[in-house]
A and B are shown apart, each in its own frame.
Chain A
Amino acid sequence: MNIIPIRSSCSIRVTLNGRPVELAVRPEALLLDVLRDRLQLKGAKRSCDMQVCGACTVLLDGAPVSACTFLAVEADGREIVTVEGLGTEERLDPLQEAFIDHAAVQCGFCTAGMLLTAKALLAEDPAPTRERVVHYLRGNLCRCTGYRKIVEAILACAHAR
């Protein structure tokens, strides 16, 4: 049985945005804190802190998870993608382009989570219906209520491919 004793760290290896990363974490370290405070990746946001709003969404082996309620030790041996890993400043991800084209961003606080959730959806279903998009995004809240343009951007991106 593997045991990580209280107040001690264990070493984890993660593929983070395509690059191997090795770091020591304690069992109680939350992935969101490790990303934001130790790795300076500020794309995932702490908002509701209870898996309701989706602002802290990251991809774990391609599937969306809430980094706010996920132990960093669980990422050992897995692949994590944050919004910083989606595209580069020179070459944005097609979803990011679509969000810009459709003005699907208002304050921007939810955008990273929206993009990553949409990324997972399109990997699963490259040509989703509107109903499927709405269902998949149900757990990502836009406090500006700009849902219509977000859904349209995702559908346009899917259909452009």
Chain B
Amino acid sequence: MLRPFALYRPSTVGEAAEVLAREGPDAALYAGGTEVLLILKEGLLRVRSLVDVKRIPGLDEIRRDDGHLSIGATATHRALERAPAVHAHCPLVAGVARHVANIRVRTIGTVGGNLAFADPHSDLATLFLAFDGVVRLASRSGERDLPLAEFVRGPYETARRDDEILAAVRLAPWPAGTAGAYVKFGVHERPTLGVAVALMRGAGGDAVTDARLAVGCVGPRPQRLPEAEARVCGWSLADLARHAGEVAALAARDVDAVGDLHGSAEYKREMTRVFVRRILLVAGARAAGRDPHEHYPHTIIV
């Protein structure tokens, strides 16, 4: 049972921003409801109004924009999985979208809702960090862009103000020839760990010129691991195959692991080490033109 609330159905971002500015913390944004209805049912959130943004035309648009992939906030996970622009520019994102939660959540749940709810046990924020994701926030006073790393502040906490709407997230597609991979592990509904990796190499060269490594779910918020990324740069694929464990050890050292129902901080640190090594080897094999079919228990590799 839910407590009574009013339902606003704005048809423009401007209208939605008006309601938010007026109602303040008495209103909550609502799209798919897969997260907000749960916390309303639990009584963890009490509001007088829901502001349904999914009827705003165009807010679910997924398109190439100025060299970026722009994903509208109300695009569903299912839309993300299927959109031609995602397959063309960030195919790994489509693959991960196929494995978010379950088919019912993917049908209804939205990308913006996922990011704005900021559940630490989520795939998208981790993955989007590896694409230098930037969120676009809209309010009555205009728009502002914020790197995803600054937007997500901690568990269920973001830099979004009460009067702002998350309008879109913009991803920077990886250069041609980049080998990427994502791994998620866990026995619960939500992932216990997620790791995204990308290996960039210069034209014709074997050496890794740039790398991305993002780890999520194990700490208060997903994070990039710059020292681990830097260690890979300059390596050949043979170096990577030999020394992936060194990078994994750096990742385990630097990750901000915390204990929760999924396990202790020590456990998560160790799982980070294990899975960073595994997914680096997968990405390295892909960079070499092979597609290894690694299988680990309770693990999905995309």
Contacts and interface: CB of A to CB of B under 8 A. Distances in A.
Given A1-B11, A3-B9, A64 B103 contact: yes
A23 to B, nearest CB: 16
B265 interface: no
Interface string B179-203: 0000000000100000000000000
Interface string B57-83: 000000000000000000000100000
B104 interface: yes
A64 B108 CA distance: 9
B107 interface: yes
Given A1-B9, A49-B41, A69-B38, A28 B4 contact: yes
Q: Of B1, B3, B7, which is in contact with the most chain A CB atoms at under 10 Å from its CB?
A: B7
B270 interface: no
A28 B6 CA distance: 8
B15 A65 contact: no
A70 B31 CA distance: 11
A136 B103 contact: yes
B173 to A, nearest CB: 26
Nearest to A2: B9
B6 A69 contact: no
A27 B6 contact: yes
Given A49-B41, A139-B101, A65 B6 contact: no
Interface string A48-66: 0111101001001001111
Contacts of B245: none
B4 A64 contact: no
Main DSSP-derived SS at the B contact region:
mixed
Interface string B1-27: 111111111110001000100000000
B11 A3 contact: no
Nearest to B2: A28
Contacts of A29: 2
B33 interface: yes
Most chain B C-beta atoms within 10 Å of own C-beta, residue among A2, A49, A51, A65: A51
Contacts of A117: 103
B8 A1 contact: yes
B105 interface: yes
B40 to A, nearest CB: 8
B236 interface: no
A133 B151 CA distance: 37
A32 B98 CA distance: 26
Nearest to A52: B189
Interface string A79-120: 000000000000000000000000000000000000001001
B102 interface: yes
Interface string A115-157: 0010010000000000000011011100000000000000000
Contact of B6 (A6, A57, A70): A6
Contacts of B41: 49-50, 69
B69 to A, nearest CB: 24
A139 B8 contact: no
Contact of A27 (B7, B34, B105): B7
Nearest to B40: A28
A30 B37 CA distance: 10
Contacts of B5: 6, 27-28
Contacts of B2: 28-30
Q: Which 8 A-B pairs have the closest CB atoms?
A: A139-B102, A28-B2, A27-B7, A2-B9, A6-B6, A4-B7, A63-B107, A52-B189
